[in-house]
Amino acid sequence: MDLLAKYTSLFTLMTVVLGWIVVNWQNNNREERKEVRSSLSEAIEEITSLEDEAVKYHSADSRSAEGEREITKRITRLSSRIRHLGIESDESRRLFIRFKQSMTLDNFETNRFSQQGTDSEILEMISMRSEELQDALETQFSRLFRGPFLHRLAASIRQFLMRCKP
């Protein structure tokens, strides 16, 4: 009987410790999700704002060196912000590059600047790439924090492996 009491006490202690570990892990995960969601919302606002700035630049009557510097600076800041989210994927990297190229590849930092109309291919491409990037970031967030357990686990492993790459 004494042996049974010892095992019962040990089982109770292990249950309490295991329960505390699970609750702590879930609490930390919830807090991380809230922080990432907040940062992601700010990044999406920045993407939208940068899109508006690029449209304004390309729709202007003439080239603006100040506008070019501002767009370039904001692209650099946005890149850092997305990288620090911790939800970056190969797809979101590729889409970020396409978004950047849509703003800076044609009609940017050139003496052959020409004002773009509302139906311009450049402006349409900027808008499309912005939406694609926002969607990719939202999708990655959902995979990491909202999907079924196995999908979240697989996404977390992919994130870990990506962070380990040189």
Copy the structure tokens of residue 95. 């889409």
pLDDT, position 2: 72
Q: Which residue has the higher pLDDT, 111 or 124?
A: 124
Question: In sequence order, what are the residues at sequence separation of 6 or more whose Cβ sits closer than 8 angstroms to the Cβ of residue 72?
Answer: 104
The answer to whether residue 154 scores a pLDDT higher than 80 is no
Please tell me the distance from the alpha carbon of residue 111 to that of residue 68, in angstroms, as a whole number.
13
The answer to whether residue 166 scores a pLDDT higher than 70 is no
Confidence of residue 164 (pLDDT cuts 50, 70, 90): confident
pTM as predicted: 0.80
The answer to whether residue 40 scores a pLDDT higher than 80 is yes
Place of tokens 């970056």: 88
CA atoms within 13 A on the CB side of 112: 3
pLDDT, position 1: 58
How many Cβ atoms are within 10 Å of 141's Cβ, its own excluded?
19
Q: What is the domain partition of the chain in residue ranges? A: 44-164
pLDDT, position 116: 93
Displacement of CA 162 from its chain's centroid (Å): 14
